[in-house]
Every structure is written in C-alpha cells, then in structure tokens.
Structure 1
C-alpha cells in the first residue's frame, strides 16, 4: 500500500504515539549479525565508522553497553510516503521552536522521532499542535 504524500492530509492525521520504553543510541566499531540479533535493536545504521544500534536502555544497562543520552520514541501513526515532502520539516521546526532535539528515523510506514526523555511530554504536545 502506498503512503500518503499530501502534507495537509499527513498533518491532520499525524496521530503521535509516545512509547513507554526508554531508548539509547549505542556505537560499535564492529559487530557481527549474531551479536546484533541478541540485542534486538529497533534501529540499525551502518556508517563508515561503525554500527549504531538503537536499543532499549534496560538492555544496554544489563549488558554494560555505554551510551550518552536517554530518549523516548514518538511514532507518527500516519502512513507517510517515503516521497512525502515537508513532514519532517514541519515537526522538526515545531520541536525546534520548543528547544527540543529530534533524531528522526523514517521507516516504510511511519516516521519515528527520538526526543530527550525529559522533554517527551512537551514534544508530544508540540507535535499535536500540528494537527490543529
């Protein structure tokens, strides 16, 4: 099924959902797929410097994996097209107005925004303002 491209439709149906879990971004200079699967990351990105995993903070603590900051995940529960124009700009601008950093992952069906744990409720409210 194709995602929505129209920015007005996307914004009016944005439906952000705040995940209750805490997430961290961890970096590994090298890692094999067996190690990765044991950590059950919700995000993986391979850069020239190594591999970044987004994992549950509890998993990082239990496995003594270092991290710098803790994030909450807000998922936009609208099926956005990967070709949609302006959605990321709209919510990132709104969050920037509130001095909230955003780490964005666009997946096939939804956009996922990682925000600092202590600003998660404020970020959720800010994104909901876009629906009005």
Structure 2
C-alpha cells in the first residue's frame, strides 16, 4: 500500500530521490493545438506554453520522486535555494504526485548531485 503525501520538510527532503530524465526538454509558445505528447501545458493571457521533449532542447528534467503534499511548505524554497546558490537556473512544475525541475542541460549532472546531497541526512 502506498503512503500518502509527505508534508513535513524533513520528510520531503529525505524522500526526494531525484531522477534525471535522459531526454532534452524545451518550452515552446504555441500558435495552434498542443502536441499530444506535451509534458505540460500552461495557459497564460499571452498564449499557450508547452513543455516538450526536443532533441535540441535547452533543459533537462529532474523529477523528485517523493509524493510531496501540495500543502507542504519549504520544498520548493530548499531546492531552488541550493540550485540558486550554485548559479543554476531552475523552473519548477508541480504535479499532484511529484515536482519536476527543469535545469539547463549543460548543468544537469551538477544539479542532480546537489539535490542528492540535499536529500542526505545531516
């Protein structure tokens, strides 16, 4: 049986288990219908943005495997803080079950290592 969402910061950090997706990703502003394979769609007043797999994409996706509660406080701040401290840009998309971090492709391994360290106790 699966445990429910984790809401305490220590539990969210300890359970992050970040996973680096092998594909490259990009953000695209769409003029027409979104592609069926889009990872996420964001509707803004200025238009529709899709996050799509793209062989020339500028971003890597790191998924935090912890099922963090949508009401949980501090995970986004902790993750973005450690990456910002290393000068790594991060765009976070929260799903119901997981948070997905889009970081520059060239810095993906460094970002993954920082997140793995952040999840270690002590």
**TM-score, length-normalised on structure 2?**
0.91
Residue 124 of structure 1: which of 98, 112, 117 is its match?
Answer: 112
Q: 50, 54, 66: which one pairs with 1:53?
A: 50
Structure 2 match to 1:64: none
1:19 to 11, 17, 21: 21
**Shift of residue 2, structure 1, vs aligned partner:** 3.9
How does 1:45-124 map onto structure 2 within 5 Å? 45-58=42-55, 70-124=58-112
1:70-90 residue CA offsets vs partner (Å, 9 max, x unmatched) = 100000000001110000000
In structure 2, list runs of 5 or more residues that go unmatched: none
Q: Which runs of structure 1 show a deviation greater than 4 angstroms over 4 or more consecutive aligned residues?
A: none
Which is helix-richer, 1 or 2? 1
Superposed CA RMSD:
1.4
Unaligned runs of 5+ in 1: 62-68
As a proportion of its length, which structure holds more strand?
2
- Per-residue deviation, residues 45-102 of structure 1 (Å, max 9, x unmatched): 00000000000113xx7xxxxxxx6100000000001110000000000000110000
